[in-house]
Chain A
Amino acid sequence: MTTIAPTPTAASATTAAGIELRGVVKRYGTQVAVRGLDLEISDGEFFCLLGPSGCGKTTTLNLIGGFVPLTEGEIWIRGKRVHDLPPHKRPVNTVFQSYALFPHMNVRENVRFGLKMDRVPAAESTSRVEEALALVGLDDFGDRMPAQLSGGQQQRVAVARALVKRPAVLLLDEPLGALDLKLRQRLQIELSQIHRDVGTTFVYVTHDQEEAMSMADRIAVMNDGRLEQLGTPEEVYRRPASRFVADFIGDSNFFAATVAAGVATLADGSQMPCRGGSGQASVMVRPEAIRLAGSSPSLSGRVVQTSFLGKHVRVAVATAASEAPVVIALHDPSTLPPVGATVALSWSAEDAAVLEPK
């Protein structure tokens, strides 16, 4: 099998999605890893599966890659049913968490391996290997052995080895998990650039929300085998669909409240603006959305701690409306109140998401 240009079949003509999961279920014995997942990933999208460990994101990736058989449902790639196909017959290649480079082959042989398996003619495969190495910035490393490379370089070889096959979909299983923070951030930028250059659909699994936010076009937040929310990084951050998403992505302040007509009555009786909803609820406000200078209505509290964190100052304010102190991120330290001061907190209605009660 060479590169992939399947013609859409009649059944799938309506959907031009790069990848489509329909009612996908995966059970291991009595344990359910994925409970009925429906997903549509567009061609060329940088798509993130995000969630805590054990949420089913890696299983989902393995289902797409064909490494584990699915229990129920269907998987389509570019209009072709693939869930009955073995991994090597799917238009999918994978960058593994441990890279899984072949230690007995040099970098060039590693990258060429997939082309050899496809019986690509020597001349073409040589130029494609060099192209792939150039893409990941390893032009001069073809003769090195994997053991002679740094972690970041090994990771890039793994990317080149997968992309040289020109797959319809590139699966990445926490590819930066083993690297230190600085290198991770640099490789995040590089991966985004590579994605723009090749235009292949990337499906990226991570438990690191910052990583997902920094690279993905869309994020699927998963929990306990279910899709919690699907949206752009901004959507899942600003408009979390559930308490879980709000809690998992970014820092958040929760207030138990009774909501009616855009007004949340908090535990201490203060009435604060919020976005829609009614009845018993949790109101969630991001730390950077809370202002200290009091416009009314406001929530009164006492500063218990201020911490200088470089890019912002974190202020913890104890209020009667929440058990845990309210966390506020201030970007202008000149307005910093002293510890012990009484302050008035306020926010605008659109920054207060109404979620299910605890």
Chain B
Amino acid sequence: MTVTAAAAPQRRRRIRLGHALSEYSGFAPAVVLLGLFFLVPLGIIVCYSFWETIDYSTVHHWTTGNYSYFFSVGAYVSTMWATVWVSVVATALAIALAFPFAYWLSRYVPKRLRTPLLVLVIVPFWSSYLLRVYSWLTILGEHGVLNRFLQWTGITNHPLGLFLYDRPAVILVLVYLYFPFGALTLYSSIERFDWNQLRAAMDLGASPLTAIFRILVPQIRPGIITAVIFVFIPVLGEYLTPQIVGGTGGVMIGNLIVNFFQSAEYTRGAAASLLIAAFIVLLLAVFRKSLSSRDAYGI
């Protein structure tokens, strides 16, 4: 092949394109994975949520009926709001417990003891999720440890059913399940903190608590927000915990979705799933700016 002068620019462009392609080709596996396992399924769910279920089969007929149906049933809407507040409370409690733990671990525990302690935090993950939730039944149940203790001390003479099958039990177990996520995330951001700054703040007249909230917390804000996201997102979609320890009083939106799918109402289930997803997207949008620490330090 002969190359004329006129063809040169075109050839150069083609070379540049090829160069760019080869530069980005390294991302190909990630793009394929993300596409196959995330974007395509998401697209399918979006499609389903705008289709119709007629006689237990999905009809490819575009409608917003699934969404309007969801909002027309009072029990669904109240379950959705209950899910949001249960998740907010559970997340807040998990973070509130994880923060002092991470603070204590990174400030007062000698380095050689930190890894064993972190491993202890992760140990529950070695057992099955179901086992961890069921074990709470043996604590909170009618013949559980808590009731036996109360009867033994004489505070009550018959087993109390109030520990189980309602939102407090769900929140308690969710806090237990997701505390490690909060603790590990917060620890990794507090660990790098220069503790001299707290000494300096106290030297300048701040009480210990003021020093923590004015000096430490603003600097680990990205870590706190990451922890909140790590806990809030999975909690929002929980369905096994509310089912096992929540009973009928502790139903969350995840249980509704399961019910929809089990009764072959795929389109309504898809719509309810996307409502959760919308909440999460909203949450991420709110926190998007705060996740960057660069602005705060003027770097």
- Report if A185 contacts B (CB, 8 A): no
A102 with B197, Cβ < 8 A, contacts A93-B204, A94-B203, A117-B206 known: yes
State the majority secondary structure of interface residues on B.
Answer: helix
8 Å CB contact of A145 from B202, B210, B297: B297
A98 with B196, Cβ < 8 A, contacts A65-B203, A88-B203, A165-B205 known: yes
Give CA–CA (A118, B299) in the complex, Å.
30
8 Å CB contact of A117 from B196, B205, B297: B205
- Report if A13 contacts B (CB, 8 A): no
Instruction: Write the nearest CB–CB distance from B37 to chain A, whole angstroms.
Output: 38
Instruction: Write the nearest CB–CB distance from B44 to chain A, whole angstroms.
Output: 44
Instruction: Write the nearest CB–CB distance from B199 to chain A, whole angstroms.
Output: 6
- Assess the B204–A147 pair: CB atoms within 8 A: no
- Assess the A147–B197 pair: CB atoms within 8 A: no
Could you tell me which residues of chain A, from 89 to 145, have a CB within 8 Å of some CB in chain B? 92-94, 96, 98, 100-104, 106, 113-114, 117-118, 144-145
- Report if A67 contacts B (CB, 8 A): yes
Instruction: Write the nearest CB–CB distance from A341 to chain B, whole angstroms.
Output: 56
Residues in A neighbouring B215, C-beta threshold 8 A: 102
> Which one of B200, B201, B214, B297 has the highest number of Cβ atoms from chain A below 10 Å of its Cβ?
B200
Could you tell me which residues of chain A, from 56 to 110, have a CB within 8 Å of some CB in chain B? 65, 67, 86-88, 92-94, 96, 98, 100-104, 106
- Assess the A100–B200 pair: CB atoms within 8 A: yes
Give CA–CA (A98, B198) in the complex, Å.
12
- Report if B218 contacts A (CB, 8 A): yes
Instruction: Write the nearest CB–CB distance from A120 to chain B, whole angstroms.
Output: 10
A104 with B196, Cβ < 8 A, contacts A1-B205, A145-B297 known: no
Could you tell me which residues of chain B, from 181 to 218, have a CB within 8 Å of some CB in chain A? 194, 196-197, 199-207, 210, 214-215, 218
- Assess the A113–B204 pair: CB atoms within 8 A: yes
- Report if B43 contacts A (CB, 8 A): no
Q: Which residue of A lies closest to B221 (CB)?
A: A104
- Assess the B196–A147 pair: CB atoms within 8 A: no
- Assess the A118–B200 pair: CB atoms within 8 A: no
- Assess the B200–A96 pair: CB atoms within 8 A: yes
- Report if A148 contacts B (CB, 8 A): yes
Instruction: Write the nearest CB–CB distance from B155 to chain A, whole angstroms.
Output: 41
A103 with B219, Cβ < 8 A, contacts A1-B205, A147-B297, A147-B298 known: yes
Give CA–CA (A161, B206) in the complex, Å.
13
- Report if B296 contacts A (CB, 8 A): yes
- Assess the A100–B206 pair: CB atoms within 8 A: no
Q: Which residue of B lies closest to A112 (CB)?
A: B204
Instruction: Write the nearest CB–CB distance from B148 to chain A, whole angstroms.
Output: 44
Give CA–CA (A147, B219) in the complex, Å.
14
Give CA–CA (A104, B193) in the complex, Å.
12
What are 8 contact pairs spanning A and B, CB under 8 A? A94-B199, A100-B199, A103-B219, A104-B218, A106-B298, A113-B206, A114-B204, A114-B205
Across the A-B interface, the 5 shortest Cβ-Cβ residue pairs: A145-B298, A117-B205, A114-B204, A100-B200, A100-B196
Interface residues of B (CB under 8 A from A): 194, 196-197, 199-207, 210, 214-215, 218-219, 296-299
